[in-house]
């Protein structure tokens, strides 16, 4: 499976905002500088997370982003779906019914394509795994220094 870079960026921003807790909102420009990312592209990812209810945004000069839910309530699948969309990764177009298969009897196609079934099962397993892990799980598995570094950096640069 291939995900956009925006998924990684969104997850890191959400994790950072989770570590900051109830701190003031953090601007997209500050988050972009934090991770050395292109600000305009990161802002698109943050807006998608806001639309999905994962982040909340405050407009204006002192505005920015905060986590909208507790870390235990945000799954990795939530972030993936918000950034890359909820559509299935594999799209079966039934090519078995074209070309040499075009003249085959209709009963050969009554059962779903085995390839489509295998891909669907794999995708469901992938989605279940991502849905079973939350930001809180990531926070618990990260070295304590990562959270402390995020807090120190925030205090140093502010919003």
Quick: pLDDT tens for 85-122. Answer: 988 888 888 888 888 888 888 888 888 888 999 999 99
Cβ atoms < 10 Å from Cβ of 63: 14
The conformational region for residue 103 under phi > 0 = left, psi -120 to 50 = alpha, else beta, is: alpha
Could you tell me the two tokens for 118?
């295998």
Its pTM stands at 0.86
Total domains in the fold of the chain: 1
- What are the CA-CA distances from residue 88 to residues 4, 13, 110, 153 (Å)? 14, 25, 22, 38
The CATH number assigned to the domain holding 104 equals 1.10.10.10
Select from 11, 12, 37, 26 the least CA-distant residue to 66: 26
């Amino acid at each position: 499976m291939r995900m956009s870079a925006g998924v990684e960026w969104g997850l890191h921003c959400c994790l950072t905002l989770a570590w900051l807790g109830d701190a003031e909102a953090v601007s997209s420009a500050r988050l972009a500088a934090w991770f050395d990312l292109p600000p305009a592209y990161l802002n698109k990812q943050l807006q998608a997370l806001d639309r999905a209810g994962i982040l909340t945004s405050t407009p204006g000069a002192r505005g920015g982003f905060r986590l909208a839910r507790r870390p235990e309530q945000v799954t990795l699948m939530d972030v993936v779906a918000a950034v890359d969309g909820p559509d299935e990764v594999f799209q079966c177009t039934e090519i078995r019914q074209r070309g040499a298969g075009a003249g085959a009897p209709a009963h050969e196609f009554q059962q779903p394509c085995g390839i489509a079934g295998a891909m669907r099962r794999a995708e469901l397993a992938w989605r279940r795994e991502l849905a079973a892990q939350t930001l809180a799980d990531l926070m618990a598995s990260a070295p304590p220094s990562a959270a402390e570094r995020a807090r120190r950096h925030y205090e140093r640069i502010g919003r």
